[in-house]
Amino acid sequence: MQKARAELSKLETVTRSLVSCIECPICMETMTEAASGCCGHCFCIGCFGCSLTSSFSCPTCREPVKGLVRQFAVEQIAAHIPLLKDIALQFGVHLAQREMDLDARRRLAEVEAELQKERCRLVLSRAAFVSPIARHAVGAGPEDVKDVEVMPVLSPEATVEIIGENTSAPVRLLYSPGVQSLLSLLSKLQNTTEETSGTCLQALLRNIPKVVENVSEQEIPSDLEGDFEEALQALPEITTSGGNFETDTAAGPFLQKLSRLRLVKRLPEIAQRLAPFEVLYPDSLAKQSKIETQELKEAFEKASAEVREADPSSWSVAEFEEAAELFERNPVCKEVGDSVSKNIEESLTEFYGQTTTFALGFLLAQILFFGALVAACCGAFGGGGSSDAPVADVGLPLYTLGYKELEHRWEEQQLHIREQAQQIQDTEKRIQEMQQRWEVEAQEAHRQAQQLQEEMAFLRQGSQRTEETLQMAKQLEHAVVNIMEHTHSMIRAIIGSGWQELCLPPSGERVQQMLGLLRNSGFAEFGVVRDCLQDTGQECMGNMSLGISPDLRFKLEYYGSKQHVFNELELEGTVQIDGGQLTFLVARSSSSQHDGQDSEVQKMALPPLQGLLCCHGANTWIVLLDFSASAQISF
């Protein structure tokens, strides 16, 4: 970008330099018809003529003006100036547009970065979607709990609590024999490594979706249809119960209402009838863990029986919240809970993404089966209400929430992220299109730059030719000056009769003697007429100019008036330089007269002329050779 600006600055500098070179110092406009004096300074022909009416010197350097030379090269350069300005303007517009596009792309990148940050924030917030629940003491005071050493269950050095009469129902259920037996087996599975990956407990948990899928594919028994229908109708209310997830615990109301469903009360029977245990715990896993299938199955059944005897449907919300807290603090049950929460989360996502009856049944089967599993392994309650075990700082796993409002909020966030991702894709597509357009514009700008370079090369060549022309003009000027014996600032020119009274010519014999000319030669004084020629009856001044081109072609023009008649004379031919002598051959000449009404009075063509530029006394003369006296033209 800086390089483009530098090139544009150079282009503007060159353009200004060229414009300043072809501006008339008098009118400050571009010269369309340029002329210069012998000093080389160029002006508009009209401005030069007006300036010379008051002074016979150059307006810039004050050098006397002896003749005007038409500068065709300057006019050619002036004709290219509008094109250069237009190219510079277009290049500037392209540069400004590209800066605007790059600025828009930068702002879009900033927006995309903010969206990415928001996406990461949402992912992190999902990992801890619920703030840690307010922990509170469970059970009665110290008189209800005694610390003694008993037969180790989970660890040889374990110190467990003896349950008092006033201990809460979740703690009593936790330390029941069936639950402790199931916890012991699950702990053994957690400490046994599987051949493929992870532990045997992880392998068992990975089989849970297979069991649920098997249950959902079976036809609901007729004696369970009423229970399933009740659960389907109550599910929306259950999943929307519980307070604000940001400030309080929602597990209590959810588990309380779930436990009061008839279908939940019959979970052990349903699991035995519909959930094949060999899918959850295959023989290959039993061989690796060295725990018999029947042993683990009986432990599940005993734990389920104890859960049924504890009657969780009669628990209060506080007791369910206590159970959830204890569940979180046990390492074995935490792993089980994380796996269950993941499966319920996927189920809720599928449920809110579909509205078919099959999806509802599938979701219900998962929630109920996971509820049975959790109820059966309430060893998730590891530790009592007055245990010294450290309290976890993390929030409840997602499966303890199960609320439609939470999932609805998450789905809205997901939808918003997908919309933003689509917008980003559309923006990237537009950026690609803009990049392609920029490439095309860059190629066009490169082409125009090359064209501009060619134009600049052409202008440099023209400038070089102009300098060569000026050098030739200076040579011509020196050749003219060398043959002049005297300099003068005003020379008179006369057309018509009476010129003999103003400029008496020498006799023909003297001319022939001095210059070696024929007798029918004539004399012509040239230059610029500055005053009214009262002696010859002129009413106003006239102008005579001599222009010489680089190829040594010349044109002599005279404009004057006499008694309301305007006289014009034009001579065109070629010039030759031989040392200090300049000769010319007139190839075309004409003379005409006009009156004040723009009607032609007289017009005649002159014969071919041949002459010599020389000087005589204080005057400079053009000697016309082979001049026909019948033309009635004299100077």
Give pLDDT, residue 207: 79
Q: Which residue has the higher pLDDT, 608 or 533?
A: 608
The model's pLDDT over 462-508, given as tens digits with 9 standing for 90+, comes to: 777 777 766 655 554 544 444 333 323 223 333 333 333 333 444 44
Give pLDDT, residue 44: 79
Residue 261 sits in which domain range?
148-402
Q: Which of 157-171, 236-250, 375-389 has the lowest mean pLDDT?
A: 375-389
| Sign of the dihedral through C-alpha 214, 217, 218, 221 | positive
Give pLDDT, residue 406: 52
Over 60: is that where the pLDDT of 581 sits? Answer: no
And the tokens for 4? Answer: 């483009």
369's CB contacts (< 8 A; 6+ apart) are: 208, 211, 212, 215, 267, 271, 275
Over 70: is that where the pLDDT of 26 sits? Answer: yes
Pair 197, 326 in one domain? yes
Determine contact, residues 115/418, Cβ cutoff 8 Å.
Answer: no
Over 70: is that where the pLDDT of 628 sits? Answer: no
Over 70: is that where the pLDDT of 228 sits? Answer: yes
Of 402, 429, 459, the last residue of a domain is: 402
**What is residue 602's three-state secondary structure?**
strand
Question: What integer is the mean pLDDT of 48-67?
Answer: 69
Pair 195, 81 in one domain? no
Largest CA distance in the chain: 164
Over 60: is that where the pLDDT of 303 sits? Answer: yes
Determine contact, residues 250/243, Cβ cutoff 8 Å.
Answer: yes
125 in a structural domain: no
Instruction: Please state the φ and ψ torsions of residue 188, each to the nearest 5 degrees.
Output: -65, -40
Over 70: is that where the pLDDT of 409 sits? Answer: no
> Could you tell me the pTM of the whole model?
0.33
Question: What total number of domains does the chain contain?
Answer: 3
Are β-strands 522-525 and 538-548 bridged in parallel, bridged antiparallel, or unpaired? Answer: unpaired
Q: How far is CA 170 from CA 167, 176, 334, 384, 385, in A?
A: 8, 10, 16, 9, 9
The model's pLDDT over 193-205, given as tens digits with 9 standing for 90+, comes to: 766 667 888 887 7
Q: Which CATH number do you get for residue 115?
A: 3.30.40.10
Of 359, 378, 402, the last residue of a domain is: 402
554 in a structural domain: yes
Question: What integer is the mean pLDDT of 17-27?
Answer: 73
CA distance 339 to 397: 10
CA distance 77 to 14: 13
444 in a structural domain: no
Pair 187, 106 in one domain? no
Pair 216, 324 in one domain? yes
220 in a structural domain: yes
Pair 247, 375 in one domain? yes
Pair 98, 152 in one domain? no
Q: What is the pLDDT confidence band of residue 166, given thresholds at 50, 70 and 90?
A: low
Of 75, 99, 119, the last residue of a domain is: 119
> What is residue 142's DSSP assignment?
G
DSSP letter string over 453-517? HHHHHHHHHHHHHHHHHHHHHHHHHHHHHHT-SS--S------STTHHHHSPPPPHHHHHHHH--
Q: Which residue has the higher pLDDT, 291 or 245?
A: 291
Q: What is the pLDDT confidence band of residue 600, given thresholds at 50, 70 and 90?
A: low
Pair 65, 152 in one domain? no
